[in-house]
């Protein structure tokens, strides 16, 4: 959805409480928000509930407050809704759902390549799970949702420069975890000989 269309829809929602305009924004953003929430919740059902609650809160906010940056706002509200979910439940740990991120290797046609891609995806999800939440969020927003640095800054309540630093640190931390994991794997293989 282009920026002009988004601004028009936000205006319609704010001024006229236009449910059709909100439905268009919901349709455009629901899947992205749902995937983001699914990474942070224990079950798919919880993610659906939180996503729906996020859009209810979003409606309440947009109808009473002028909004200029919708993408950042929707992620900010989803983060707060997730936090409220965990405060209510008292749950502390979350396992990554293996169906959230879909990785594919170009030209993977043989069964061996597909199995290898599946193992790599599982390994990558496991390693990403070791990162700090702030790093996971930034990487998800940038590389899965393909959000701009400005949109991420809005969602995370940071300056654009801070987001660039955060992304750099997140990539470096993931790189270190991958290297550490490969070193452990090589040591285990040598031990098995």
Give residue 103's pLDDT. Answer: 40
CATH code assigned to 108-192:
1.10.10.10
Residue spans per domain, the chain: 1-99, 108-192
Place of tokens 């268009």: 24
pLDDT digits (tens, 9 = 90+) for 129-186: 889 999 999 988 988 888 999 999 999 999 999 999 999 999 999 889 988 887 755 5
Query: Does this chain's domain 1-99 share its CATH topology with 108-192?
Result: no
| 189: number of Cβ within 10 Å | 9
Which residues, at least 6 apart from 102, have a Cβ–Cβ distance to it below 8 Å? 121
pLDDT > 90: percent of the chain: 56
Confidence of residue 109 (pLDDT cuts 50, 70, 90): very low
- In this prediction the pTM is 0.69
Across the range 88-115, mean pLDDT stands at 49
Higher pLDDT, 111 or 37: 37
Which of 13, 10, 124, 21 has the alpha carbon at shortest distance from 69?
10
pLDDT higher than 50, residue 78: yes
**CATH class (in words) of the domain with range 1-99:** mainly alpha
Q: In terms of pLDDT, which residue wins out, 139 or 189?
A: 139
Length of the chain in terms of residues written: 193
17: Cα separation from own chain's centroid:
28
């Amino acid at each position: 959805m282009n920026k002009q269309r988004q601004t028009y829809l936000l205006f319609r929602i704010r001024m006229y409480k236009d449910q059709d305009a909100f439905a268009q924004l919901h349709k455009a953003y629901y899947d992205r928000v749902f995937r983001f929430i699914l990474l942070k919740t224990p079950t798919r059902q919880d993610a659906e509930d939180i996503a729906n609650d996020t859009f209810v809160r979003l409606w309440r906010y947009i109808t009473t407050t002028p909004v200029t940056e919708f993408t950042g706002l929707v992620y900010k509200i989803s983060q707060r809704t997730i936090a409220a979910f965990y405060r209510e439940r008292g749950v502390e740990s979350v396992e990554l759902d293996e169906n959230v991120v879909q990785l594919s290797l170009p030209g993977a046609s043989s069964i061996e390549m597909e199995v290898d891609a599946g193992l790599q995806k599982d390994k990558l999800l496991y390693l990403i799970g070791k990162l700090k939440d702030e790093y996971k969020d930034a990487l998800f927003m940038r590389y899965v949702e393909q959000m701009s640095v400005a949109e991420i800054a809005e969602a995370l309540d940071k300056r654009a420069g801070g987001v660039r630093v955060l992304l750099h640190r997140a990539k470096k931390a993931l790189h270190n975890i991958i290297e550490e994991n490969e070193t452990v794997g090589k040591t285990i293989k040598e031990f098995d000989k």
